[in-house]
Chains A and B, each alone.
Chain A
Amino acid sequence: MIEVNDIHKSFGDTHVLKGISTVFENGKTNLIIGQSGSGKTVFLKCLLGLFYPEKGDIVYDGNSYASLPTKEKRNLRQEMGMVFQGSALFDSMTVAGNVMFPLEMFTNQPKSEMIDRVDAVLKRVNLVDAHHKFPSEISGGMQKRVAIARAIVMNPKYLFCDEPNSGLDPKTAILIDNLIKEITEEYDITTVINTHDMNSVMQIGEKILFLKDGLMEWEGTKNEIFKTDNQAVTDFVYSSDLFKKVRQMYIEERN
């Protein structure tokens, strides 16, 4: 579980996060949505410890990140898995090398055990024939799956994803969404996903946070988001014709 208590983050004179508080529970897929520039990525980077909030605190299973000694912070980071928007795979390493990287860095397992573990996670993300390929030789969807495999190879407690299905075709995007949800439940981890894809919200969203101008404008469940009267949320959610029609159908059904 991750508790976020009133975090503020500025860059120069720009106040990006203006006091966000929330709780992300274990075994749930938590989605952060909002328009570009609303502070989603900065918020996610604060959760990851890449940015330090000027005010407020983030508590991971009872451990306040700000008050942890440097060594403990590094240990905590090893319990985090991250899937970046562009996958962020290491170009110079093969698929297997990318997935094995955290194991080589932080464990003293024999090579054979590492290979077994890499095989297992690559199989889990449905990539069995790509071990020796380089990231440039595989598709965007496969790269995302490798990134997920790398993120879960150390059995993390927390999984963060920054727009995991951006740039993917709708079918692959759904596959990636479902894979993240399955892994969240299977490993009982706390998953936080940054997205502005409403299909993801419908597909896997259990708890949804809507950010606007650095503030948490709304939070609730997937079902609640379609019923809310919050103008900012409805403007965002129903910006596409498809969702306008869904809402129309919902209203007609209700009446």
Chain B
Amino acid sequence: MNYLASIGSYAVMVQEVFKKPTKWRIMKSLILKEIDELIYGSLGIIIFISFFIGAVVAIQTALNLTSPIIPRNLIGFATRQSVILEFAPTFVSVIMAGKVGSYITSSIGTMRVTEQIDALEVMGVNSLNYLVFPKIIAMLFYPFAIAISMYVGIFGGWFAGVFGGFLTSANFVEGLQMDFVPFHIAYAFIKTLIFAFVIATIPSYHGFYMKGGALEVGKASTTSFVWTSVVIIILNYLLTQLLLG
């Protein structure tokens, strides 16, 4: 019953976020600040993880291709498919649930604990719109980060494959171009946009409705990471079934 109540209050929160908008002049600067914090500030870790994940996928595929009749360009194909379909949109989103999600929960949670949210409410500000809406808009730029992740992941695969001596650069590129389905890119970005909304709103929910003090802010951050990850994994399954099944 508690889970149902939480889902209900999450839905009410999302509805409230879009009511009584804050002045555009103020909202514009909040959105830019959030893009800087949530997207630009995450590019470093996204690039780092993507490069090595792509590299590991290429090496693992190469090491498992023991039959001589299987072409080496399959390494490029497997890297492309793994990175575009799963590693960039889903794996990176789980990482972002930890990095961005805990930042969102702790920043909003601290505002709750220090009565800054009450101060906004007393002034007549729609605090949910003021705090959460800029994060949702900023996360609309998340697909750009994932596009970079895809590019760097594939580059990592090429780097590990070619410099590890598993295949030639031409083989890798041939594999990349093999049986390319453009809809897979659309599928990946549809997933990314939905995950972006989840990463912006679930941690906000945990921060906004938290009760207690500093210790509870930490607990709320952990809980928000767990639930954001769980929701991403479940949605990933449902979306894959719906869009590719």
A residues with a Cβ closer than 8 A to B are 45, 48-50, 74-75, 77-78, 80, 82, 84-86, 88-91, 101-102, 104-106, 160
Main secondary structure of the interface of B (DSSP, over half): helix
B residues with a Cβ closer than 8 A to A are 20, 22-23, 25-26, 110, 114-116, 118-119, 121-125
Contacts of B121 in A (CB 8 A): 50, 77
Task: Please pick, from A45, A77, A88, the residue contacting B124 in the complex, using a CB distance under 8 A.
Answer: A77
* Contact in complex: A105, B23 (CB < 8 Å): yes
Q: Which residue of A lies closest to B125 (CB)?
A: A105
* Contact in complex: A104, B119 (CB < 8 Å): no
* Contact in complex: A102, B115 (CB < 8 Å): no
* Contact in complex: A77, B23 (CB < 8 Å): no
Q: Which residue of B lies closest to A98 (CB)?
A: B119
* Contact in complex: B115, A85 (CB < 8 Å): yes
Question: Knowing that A101-B123, A102-B123, A105-B22 are A-B contacts, what are 12 other residue pairs whose CB atoms are under 8 Å apart, sorted by A's residue number?
Answer: A48-B122, A78-B124, A80-B122, A82-B118, A84-B115, A86-B115, A88-B115, A88-B118, A89-B116, A91-B116, A105-B26, A106-B124
A250 to B119, CA, bound (A): 42
28 chain-A/chain-B pairs, Cβ below 8 angstroms: A50-B118, A50-B121, A50-B122, A77-B121, A77-B122, A77-B123, A78-B123, A80-B122, A82-B122, A84-B115, A84-B118, A84-B119, A86-B114, A88-B114, A88-B118, A88-B119, A89-B116, A90-B116, A90-B119, A91-B110, A91-B114, A91-B116, A102-B123, A104-B25, A105-B23, A105-B26, A105-B125, A106-B124
Contacts of A75 in B (CB 8 A): 124
A195 to B22, CA, bound (A): 34
Task: Please pick, from B20, B22, B119, the residue contacting A82 in the complex, using a CB distance under 8 A.
Answer: B119
Contacts of A105 in B (CB 8 A): 22-23, 26, 123, 125
Q: Which residue of A lies closest to B124 (CB)?
A: A77
Cβ of A19 to closest chain B Cβ, rounded Å: 25
A160 to B22, CA, bound (A): 24
Question: What 4 A-B pairs are tightest by C-beta distance, nearest first?
Answer: A77-B124, A88-B115, A88-B119, A74-B124
Contacts of B20 in A (CB 8 A): 74
